[in-house]
Structure 1
């Protein structure tokens, strides 16, 4: 195999310039540009870099990319990276919806590609069945610590200046297992929350609710006072999305100081669905469902297009979603048919006025997602250098902003998107226009730059919603703990059974098919399934995490 050699200047990004969508400079020479935040110029060091002639690379095809391309090879950033590095990448994308199965089949067969991009976290309900340590011991993937230190100067500098990243990325056995996806700015960690029809609130002279009782008052007004003005009582006060509303952002349940999964209560692991407060949460939802405040069809709506139709057709008064796809997109879709349509991000509700701050959606800077290298890869030193390219200044700009002069232009040191992104001439939605050029609007092995999201949120309501949602309590968020092989095997089947039972009983309680008085029996069933052992295992993992240096 011919190996292309190239000497480049490896410019290291200042830690203060990092963000969930990270700041960097656009030159690969020793001359660097101060970041948009006004930090000092980056430090440079020359090093010889050898990139591989070719690699095989397994990764899920993002939905926005999949709408316009068959493989990431068609993305402008990767085309340019191939020109810069000389490395030909053979991307292998599993069929949509079959990612987990295909990943497990690949592991079972031992036929991993050179690079596997996936969520390898084992302690937080992620898809990987085996822990990273187990995969390393089983000679499936490589320990990357020494490779990163020797061959990845860009990422090494990031980890030295942001030691909390290294703590999150390192397993209890001391292994770094992926080139990580990193969020380096708080702004990028909060992207989801409750949303209300502002025009409905205004029409009924109602304020944005801030407590559970205020929510109930508003939802009843939406039900009874015909805010859509068609003379019918056909409004859906609250559209409930099971995974999004609860597993993702702790809506309502967070008002009780608990989560719908494991959470960290001052160093003690607890499982929300067996706490006494969860009974109160369920009782509230059951009453709302009975009184017609929650969409009666919520459990059967799996198709996002059905949700879109209900919201755009002037039926839904409140729901929760992302600032991009759940707020900005609906505002755009409604322009032609309902010019009065307006939305506002609401704060996560407290249990009562003056009560403690509720829990809300928050994504840790590292959650286990990244690019692992197969233990059978023939040239891991070169592969790690190729992956490290995206943490350097040139690769950083490519993967976050695309091609200068096409998808962005530098204006006073700020990479501003052009109309190819903001007003695509082929009428592509912004998310697809972004995917055509770069990867930073979803996960990948790089540090995301907050200047991406600053421009993605083009509507003031999006930016205000994010600020509002960020006020929630994030202190109980579980970090990316790692379970060892024994712990994983002990609790994997337990948690599969518990999750299935929890979801089944949630619907029964909410739909009043099971009386709330059966809650204690439900908790005992959870315990008989082994939930206490699962909590104990995660407590040990959290203790190990907190003791890391």
Structure 2
């Protein structure tokens, strides 16, 4: 769930172009046989004896070598009798390994991936007989997922492509509390020491940052405080101006934030803050490890961070070192008092899920096996793990045990969870809100969630999919634009490029093809609205 740096984003876009080429190459080879018909009576279909399953390790990579060691999958094998041979790409090499797998034409039975972001899109993958269209298989052999989609037409719209295909057993997050997990975060103890309230506007933020710079809130008699760390700032402050750092919509019209006049106001503000010492001068070279050192070293006053790995982790790290240490998740600030800013929120379905390979010999059995996770027993298993080990039922509420919440080996909650279930990153099941109610256990985390939810999300886009014809050119255009935009953003902030050259920046982005990219996104939104 972490944001990518611009360099990572650029690599991802380049990977999409590579995938498009590989799909094209694959289509020239002998395609796998089409899926068998769904004439087998549902009552005659059994769980498969075995299957092969490709998936990223996610958070589990730090505590195990394979999903076969995970509590939920070990228990699933006991219940279904299905032996799963897991295949995991090395961490950080997922896209490259996915590309190579597609190019080889030798696909496992199940592929768990972010299919919505694959170049040419999942519809083309179905046409080229790489993966199966699942609509009829789900309707006949997956009663649990069928019920989920029937009960939530909004989710069914998201998991169905523009051409009417359902292509994965999806990872679904149906509640808003599961979709908002990061935001602006401030040292509450510094606010208290300086007699300040939690800021809600850009003007109030600036006054607070000045006070952090000049008021010696860390009490060491030195002017060494870092008022704000710029990492991931585009999530925090650009929304104050009613735009995003990428594509968004005004009504049903697609726009691109960095070429709007409001973006100039945004970078002008950040440039002023940088010159006045309100931003970390070394923000561009500050990684996660250095960020941790600045926060735990009592130097950093505010930043954008996650509720679990940020607010919760820092509170726990500092509770013995500095009992007065306290964080507060602040509302997304607005540039206009009384008007809500745009906030962060993921899509309930972002294209992540498990596809069935077109070469699988027993798709009906595989579909039945995957559908188990959407039933009541499977839902509990993949959200809470093994009863008596990772959770226990208390008045009908699945409560995580100390094995998870206070791990005897000292594992953070996220890693302790990963030993038993994939609930805090991905999979093919419906994420349960009762997970997040316990994962954000501290009062500071609960307040952060409440404040971050109090934001406008009306301009955020659903997950959109370009057509196969649009995909390659779009990926190429945006790879170049994202690289250029990120470089110029830093130059504007640090003063290496005069703000007066903003119009030239806009014209350059236009010359790189942004209008064509906007047309692709507009067409995708129009198709989405017609689903």
**Conservation of the 8 A alpha-carbon contact between 2:186 and 2:302:** yes
The reply on whether 1:498 has 2:507 as its aligned counterpart is: no
SS at match of 2:290: helix
Please, what TM-score do these two structures have when normalized by structure 1?
0.88
Alignment partner, residue 443 of structure 2: 460
Where does the alignment leave 5 or more consecutive residues of structure 2 unmatched? 1-41
Higher-helix-fraction structure: 2
- 1:49: Cα distance to partner? 4.5
**Conservation of the 8 A alpha-carbon contact between 1:272 and 1:278:** yes
SS at match of 1:409: strand
Counterparts in 2 of 1:440-455, with a 5 A limit? 440-455=423-438
Q: Deviations over 1:291-341 (max 9, x none)?
A: 111111111123x11111111110110011111111011000011211111
Alignment partner, residue 229 of structure 1: 219
**Conservation of the 8 A alpha-carbon contact between 2:45 and 2:364:** no
The reply on whether 1:146 has 2:136 as its aligned counterpart is: yes
The reply on whether 1:519 has 2:495 as its aligned counterpart is: no
Q: Deviations over 1:116-169 (max 9, x none)?
A: 1111224xxxxx223111111111111111111111110000000101111011
- 1:109: Cα distance to partner? 2.0
SS at match of 1:139: coil
* 267, 272, 288: which one aligns with 2:257: 272
The reply on whether 1:325 has 2:313 as its aligned counterpart is: no
- 1:376: Cα distance to partner? 1.1
Alignment partner, residue 100 of structure 1: 95
* 277, 290, 296: which one aligns with 1:292: 277
Aligned length in residues: 490
Alignment partner, residue 155 of structure 1: 145
**Conservation of the 8 A alpha-carbon contact between 2:55 and 2:86:** yes
The reply on whether 1:75 has 2:65 as its aligned counterpart is: no
Counterparts in 2 of 1:272-421, with a 5 A limit? 272-302=257-287, 304-354=288-338, 356-421=339-404
Alignment partner, residue 125 of structure 1: none
**Conservation of the 8 A alpha-carbon contact between 1:57 and 1:114:** yes
Q: Deviations over 1:189-217 (max 9, x none)?
A: 21111110000000000111110011011
Alignment partner, residue 173 of structure 2: 183
Alignment partner, residue 10 of structure 1: none
**Conservation of the 8 A alpha-carbon contact between 1:120 and 1:132:** yes
**Conservation of the 8 A alpha-carbon contact between 2:120 and 2:470:** no
Q: Quote the Cα distance in structure 2 between the aligned partners of 1:264 and 1:61.
A: 34
Q: Quote the Cα distance in structure 2 between the aligned partners of 1:342 and 1:490.
A: 48
**Conservation of the 8 A alpha-carbon contact between 1:210 and 1:349:** yes
Where does the alignment leave 5 or more consecutive residues of structure 1 unmatched? 1-45, 123-127
Alignment partner, residue 182 of structure 2: 192
The reply on whether 1:85 has 2:80 as its aligned counterpart is: yes
Higher-strand-fraction structure: 1
Q: Quote the Cα distance in structure 2 between the aligned partners of 1:487 and 1:508.
A: 32
Q: Deviations over 1:324-365 (max 9, x none)?
A: 1110110000112111110011000010323x2100001111
Distance verdict in 2 for CA 1:245–1:54, change over 3 Å: farther
**Conservation of the 8 A alpha-carbon contact between 2:120 and 2:469:** no
Counterparts in 2 of 1:524-535, with a 5 A limit? 524-535=507-518
Alignment partner, residue 42 of structure 1: none
Q: Quote the Cα distance in structure 1 between the aligned partners of 2:365 and 2:152.
A: 25
Alignment partner, residue 436 of structure 1: 419
Q: 191-200 or 88-97, which moves further after superposition? A: 88-97
**Conservation of the 8 A alpha-carbon contact between 1:213 and 1:352:** no
* 245, 249, 253: which one aligns with 1:260: 245
CA RMSD, 1 decimal: 1.2
